[in-house]
């Protein structure tokens, strides 16, 4: 099936059109908060990529071995 716009659930870049979620946030700041074991909030409207962003962050952290 060709790529298409997803309106439900997490986005999978190989299947859906999307902007890389890691470019949409200040990764250095978020990573510093995670390293300091601080809380942070993703406060954005619905269907803006919160779940997709958290999944991408988890992938980056898992690949780094931390």
User: pLDDT confidence of 4, banded at 50, 70, 90?
Assistant: very high
Q: Are 6 and 15 in contact (CB under 8 A)?
A: yes
pLDDT digit string, tens, across residues 20-57: 888 888 999 999 999 999 999 989 898 888 888 999 99
Our measurement of the distance from residue 7's CA atom to the centroid of its chain's CA atoms, rounded to an integer in Å, reads: 16
For the entire predicted model, the pTM comes to: 0.78
Give the number of other Cβ atoms within 10 Å of residue 17's Cβ.
Answer: 10
Distance CA 45, CA 15 (A): 23
Distance CA 49, CA 7 (A): 10
């Amino acid at each position: 099936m060709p790529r298409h716009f997803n309106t439900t659930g997490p986005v999978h870049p190989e299947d859906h059109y999307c902007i890389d979620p890691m470019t949409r946030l200040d990764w250095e700041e978020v990573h510093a908060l995670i390293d300091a074991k601080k809380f942070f909030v993703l406060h954005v409207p619905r269907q803006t990529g919160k779940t997709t962003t958290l999944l991408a962050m988890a992938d980056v952290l898992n690949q780094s071995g931390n």
